[in-house]
Structure 1
Amino acid sequence: MVAQLETPTLNSDRRLLPAIEGLVQVFTSTHRSFFTTVMAQALRIAGQGTPVLVVQFLKGGIKQGHEHPMRLGQHLDWIRCDLPRCIDTPHLDETEVQSLLRLWQHTQKVVYEGKYSLVVLDELSLAINFGLIPQSEVLDFLEKRPSHVDIILAGPEMPQALLDVADQITEIRRSDRP
């Protein structure tokens, strides 16, 4: 019996491996102290050579805007709003609103360009609930992102519409056990 394998050439229309669809993951909780879990996952994936972007929408205080990302290793960029404080209320002045919207626009741009394979959007749920980023824009962004990009949405009080489009939902709860 003779078996013959077909080997695709570089100019072939056939792919060597099937395309893998990116996932939308949600990490949510009633409290706000679970970012470490999400960041550990981002660091682990970046350490394996995958380009990762972490965006913290409501954090500020260190003049880090998207023009000055913090680089953790070779493959992880970490950006925040270019604000002197953290956002903890929906009542922002015009400068703060513009900084947040510039960060959101930059995030969409680099994701659409396919620069990153994993994008963590921290506190996005609060930005939506505060009325700072329209939920409809986020849903449109998730639908239009490159198909290979994994997105992690993190934050308390995640809107139901985002839970409905998630491939995986992790709800972190506090235990009453000692």
Structure 2
Amino acid sequence: MVSQLQPLSLSPSPTSIVRHPLLQTVEGTVQVFTAVHRNFFTNVMVQALRIADQGKAVLIVQFLKGGIHQGPSQPVQFGQNLDWVRADMPRCIHGPEVSPGEREAIRDLWAQTKAAIARGRYGLVVLDELSLAVNYGLIPTQDVVDFLQQRPPQVDVILTGPDMPAPLLNIADQVTEFRRNILP
């Protein structure tokens, strides 16, 4: 009887690599929560708190809220997994009329948000009232689309706000519309 031994190769060929299906990165989703009114944020917050409690880092960004000196350099931290940041401006925005300083604060928040997400720490990012920031001309729609397409693949993103622009609805994996039904 003759036998021949072949040494194991320490560098496997690309076709011989077997990966366990549970070790694959799960691709993140884009969810949109929209309504004709601006008071449904509680539902999104419940989801964000639940995910943070499960150990995933969450970032909540409020583009049109201000007034409490909570700019990008001063996030509020809820526990170890939830960071909450607002635009560094003296008031909350309720319409398209914004001062040059407020416009700059929102653009700065958007730039810092994109940079924070690119670093890969967050598993969920909530972009609150993003639709209004886009509709008021404060953040370009195409910039948001590009960001969503180029974000780290494992990051889930929730976009909120009324009148969500069509390009953002088209890129979403899930769209939830809150509405009030008035029963007779």
Q: Common fold, TM-score beyond 0.5?
A: yes
For the aligned residue pairs, the C-alpha RMSD in angstroms reads 1.6
Structure 1 equivalent of residue 66 of structure 2: 60
- Equivalent of 2:169, from 163, 170, 174? 163
Percent identity, aligned pairs only, is 57
Structure 2 equivalent of residue 144 of structure 1: 150
Structure 2 equivalent of residue 74 of structure 1: 80
For 1:131 and 1:171, how far apart are their aligned partners in 2? 23
Structure 2 equivalent of residue 98 of structure 1: 104
3-state DSSP of counterpart to 1:26: strand
Structure 1 equivalent of residue 137 of structure 2: 131
Larger Rg: 2
3-state DSSP of counterpart to 1:99: helix
Aligned residues: 168
Structure 1: runs of 5+ lacking an equivalent: 1-10
Q: CA deviation at 1:143?
A: 0.4
Q: CA deviation at 1:89?
A: 2.2
For 1:127 and 1:171, how far apart are their aligned partners in 2? 19
Normalising by structure 1, report the TM-score: 0.90
1:177 partnered with 2:183: yes
Runs of 4+ aligned residues of structure 1 deviating over 3 Å after TM superposition are: 11-16
3-state DSSP of counterpart to 2:42: helix
Structure 2 equivalent of residue 47 of structure 1: 53
- Equivalent of 2:38, from 20, 32, 43? 32
Structure 1 equivalent of residue 118 of structure 2: 112
Normalising by structure 2, report the TM-score: 0.87
3-state DSSP of counterpart to 2:45: helix
Query: For residues 121-157 of structure 1, what are the alpha-carbon distances to aligned partners after superposition, in whole Å with 9 as ceiling and x for unaligned?
Result: 0000000000110000000000000000000001111
Structure 1 equivalent of residue 5 of structure 2: none
3-state DSSP of counterpart to 1:110: helix
3-state DSSP of counterpart to 1:19: coil
